[in-house]
Each structure stands twice: as structure tokens, then as C-alpha cells.
């Protein structure tokens, strides 16, 4: 198992030498990148919106229940929801959800091309398939996933508001006061560091699983599953490492 892990890790690293070579035709790469930006951004927006609004709502309700009967002021709920969304929930949850939606799709798309020998045909024509099939996906992920994380953060906070203020759990002024209290801009920087890191991990790992798939439809399904599982594990591990590095005193 250790040898297998080292083999895949080494091949994954060496594979990047092919991905980031100079494009043969910039126009083709640009068109593919724009198409993928639309698919990743607009295609994922409804899912991100639904997930984020309910995560914010649950966070607000749960913390209100935990703080009820204590001496902690009610407006702290807005402060907690805001910081939870910025530091952790928006980036991590959004990218884990996107790993399931985008990651499996990328692995299946590239894996299907590998099995149908489209990649072999492109290589015979002199196309650097690793660059053409993977680089636009990584670039599109770098552009769109941080935007989706930003939207998720705002919707998350809005979900907390909708779950508490219209239901008379506490006042509008209390929630807004909490949102304005104890704000630390550095947390936003942490959120974007995580967003860019997770964007790279979920796109690169998913494309790797599809690009090197062998066998038939069963193996393609397994590759799609591995793309999601490995991406989620990598995101969680990276989340911990980034938190340790950026919060170390």
C-alpha cells in the first residue's frame, strides 16, 4: 500500500510538468476555460446557495439554543455566525460539496475520453492532452471557486438572519450588532487562502483520477468515487494545515 501511495504521489507531481507547459493554441485554451468557468460557477450556484442558507440557519439556531439561559448577550449569535462562515463553513463545506459535484464530473469526463481513446488520438495529432484537458479546469477552478466561496459566506450569514429575525428569536438590531462586532479582516484572508488551495486540490486530484483511469465502466465509476473521496480528504487535511500555519503565534 505504501509503495502504491508513493507511486501515485510521484506520478501526480511529475504529471504537473506536462500540465503547465506553454499552450499550443491560446484561443482553444481560452474558449475551454470560459466554458468551464460557466459550468463551475453558474452550474454550481443553486447548489451552493441552498447548502449555504441552511448551514447558516442551523448554525444560528443551534448556537442560540446553546447560549439560551446564559449570561452571554444575544447579539453574539450574529458574531458567531459571521466568523464561523468566514473562517470555516463557507470555504470547507462549499469545496467539499463542489468536490462531489465538480470532481466526479471532471474525473468521469476525462476518464471517458481515455477509455474511448480520444486522448490517444489527440496525442497522435501532437496535442499535449494533459495541458489541454487539465490546465483549463484548474484555471477555471481558481477563478470561480473563490467566487462561490464568497457567495456562500454571504448567503450563510443571510441564512442565519432568516432563521432568527423573522421567527422572532431575537431582534434585527441584535443580529446586525453581532455582525459588526469584533470583526478581524485577517479571517477573510484565511478564507481566500483556503478557497484557492481547495480549488487546486479538488480539480487536480479529480483530473488525475480520470486521466490515468484504466479498464471499463466499473473502473471509471471507481475513479469518479476516488476523485470525490480523495479530494474531500485532501481538503480536510489542508484545512487543518492552513489553520495551524495561519494561526500560529
Cell of 91: 470555504
Domain layout of the chain by residue ranges: 25-247
| 68/222: higher pLDDT | 222
> Per-residue pLDDT tens for 157-206?
999 999 888 888 878 888 888 888 888 899 999 999 999 999 999 999 99
- In 3D space, the residue among 133, 156, 153 whose CA is nearest the CA of residue 195 turns out to be 153
> Per-residue pLDDT tens for 193-241?
999 999 999 999 999 998 888 877 888 888 889 999 999 999 999 999 9
Burial classification of residue 168, based on how many CB atoms lie within 10 Å of its CB (0-12 exposed, 13-18 middle, 19 or more buried): exposed
In the predicted structure, residue 152 carries a pLDDT above the cut 90: yes
Residue 185 DSSP class = T
N- to C-terminal Cα separation, the chain: 37
**Which residues 6+ apart lie within 8 Å of 211 measured at CB?**
15, 110, 111, 114, 119, 129, 130, 133, 134
What is the pTM for the complete model shown?
0.90
Amino acid at each position: 500500500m505504501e509503495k502504491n501511495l508513493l507511486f501515485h504521489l510521484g506520478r501526480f507531481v511529475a504529471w504537473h510538468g506536462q500540465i503547465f507547459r506553454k499552450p499550443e493554441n491560446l484561443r482553444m485554451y481560452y474558449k475551454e476555460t470560459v466554458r468551464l468557468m460557466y459550468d463551475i460557477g453558474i452550474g454550481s450556484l443553486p447548489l451552493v446557495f441552498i447548502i449555504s442558507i441552511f448551514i447558516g440557519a442551523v448554525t444560528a439556531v443551534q448556537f442560540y439554543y446553546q447560549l439560551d439561559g446564559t449570561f452571554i448577550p444575544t447579539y453574539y449569535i450574529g458574531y458567531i455566525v459571521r466568523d464561523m462562515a468566514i473562517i470555516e463553513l463557507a470555504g470547507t463545506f462549499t469545496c467539499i460539496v463542489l468536490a462531489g459535484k465538480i470532481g466526479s464530473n471532471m474525473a468521469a469526463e476525462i476518464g471517458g475520453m481515455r477509455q474511448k481513446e480520444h486522448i490517444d488520438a489527440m496525442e497522435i495529432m501532437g496535442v499535449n492532452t494533459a495541458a489541454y484537458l487539465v490546465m483549463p479546469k484548474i484555471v477555471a477552478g481558481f477563478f470561480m471557486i473563490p467566487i462561490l466561496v464568497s457567495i456562500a459566506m454571504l448567503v450563510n450569514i443571510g441564512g442565519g438572519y432568516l432563521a432568527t429575525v423573522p421567527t422572532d428569536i431575537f431582534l434585527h438590531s441584535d443580529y446586525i450588532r453581532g455582525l459588526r462586532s469584533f470583526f478581524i479582516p485577517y479571517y477573510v484572508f484565511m478564507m481566500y487562502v483556503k478557497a484557492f488551495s481547495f480549488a487546486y486540490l479538488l480539480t487536480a486530484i479529480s483530473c488525475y483520477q480520470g486521466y490515468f483511469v484504466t479498464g471499463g465502466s466499473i473502473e471509471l465509476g471507481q475513479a469518479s468515487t476516488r476523485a470525490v473521496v480523495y479530494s474531500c480528504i485532501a481538503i480536510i487535511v489542508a484545512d487543518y494545515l492552513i489553520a495551524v500555519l495561519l494561526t500560529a503565534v
